[in-house]
Structure 1
């Protein structure tokens, strides 16, 4: 079942569906060393990034997730992307993910964006639990989790291999009370 991806608006941002013309922006973010430092995927070429665009389309079509482009309120500037994947209607939960181009860091854009999509997930998608898996070294993301009221539930030690090194992961969750 396809998930609807409506436009969402806050004081300084617009969240809109990701469209094919966003390819260059997605590539810019997911090939940038500072963005991918703590992100699970990266692309070395613009054409390879087409797989990410297909993934956005596919998860929405199959009903397992939804992602938004984060842009300026007038739509002129592309800031990053945020959304949900691993959506389970049975368990009423999903995993949140996001990234932002470095020139927009420290402006509260991602906290505002994540707040918007969490509110949407709770009020429109019927989600009860939103999870976030965060690398223990990603202090900026941990700050966003705290701002939004996510609770650190635990740490998985040496849970994944990245760049031939084991990394540990924090599990955060936000419940719809």
Structure 2
């Protein structure tokens, strides 16, 4: 299965390649981003490298799909969005995301998640999506 990129009015959702490791690290090293994430903030670039590699590895075996969120206006990497615990057999997955705080409360996450949900139901044939939320 080839990686399928998505696009919205303001965003491009792209495969997360090594060129985005530094920006991913910068975002995930912020305590305000990881506060409810279920893991501590990153403290070393190597951690980001390992996570980005796991995104590719998990996609290859159909366990998850993770897109980088690119803001079209500046072509900046501003976060990620994806389907975790993807089960093609039972046709379900969980939606997850993280976003640079500079872009919070601007509708970016809603826009990205909407594109991913549409893709999940229409193209992947999923029947159920879940999400864990925090205040």
TM-score (norm 2): 0.93
1:74 deviates by 5.3
Partner of residue 27, structure 1: 25
1:75 deviates by 6.1
Aligned CA RMSD, in angstroms, stands at 1.3
1:67 deviates by 0.5
* Pair 102,34 (structure 1): closer, same or farther in 2 beyond 3 Å: same
1:30 deviates by 1.2
* Pair 82,131 (structure 1): closer, same or farther in 2 beyond 3 Å: same
Larger Rg: 1 or 2?
Answer: 1
SS at match of 1:5: coil
Partner of residue 92, structure 1: 91
Q: Which has the higher contact order (CA 8 A, sep 6+)?
A: 2
* Alpha-carbon distance in 2 for matches of 1:62, 1:13: 26
Confirm or deny that 1:6 pairs with 2:7. Answer: no
Partner of residue 47, structure 2: 48
Q: Over residues 91-111 of structure 1, what are the superposed CA-to-partner deviations in whole Å (9 max), with x where a residue is unaligned?
A: 110011100000000100000
* Alpha-carbon distance in 2 for matches of 1:103, 1:114: 18
Q: Is the 8 A contact 1:84 1:94 kept in 2?
A: yes
SS at match of 1:4: coil
Partner of residue 132, structure 2: 133
* Alpha-carbon distance in 1 for matches of 2:74, 2:61: 27
* Alpha-carbon distance in 1 for matches of 2:120, 2:72: 21
Normalized per residue, the structure richer in helix is 2
**Paired residues, number:** 134
1:5 deviates by 2.5
**Which contiguous aligned blocks of 4+ residues in structure 1 show a shift greater than 3 angstroms?**
none
Unaligned runs of 5+ in 2: none
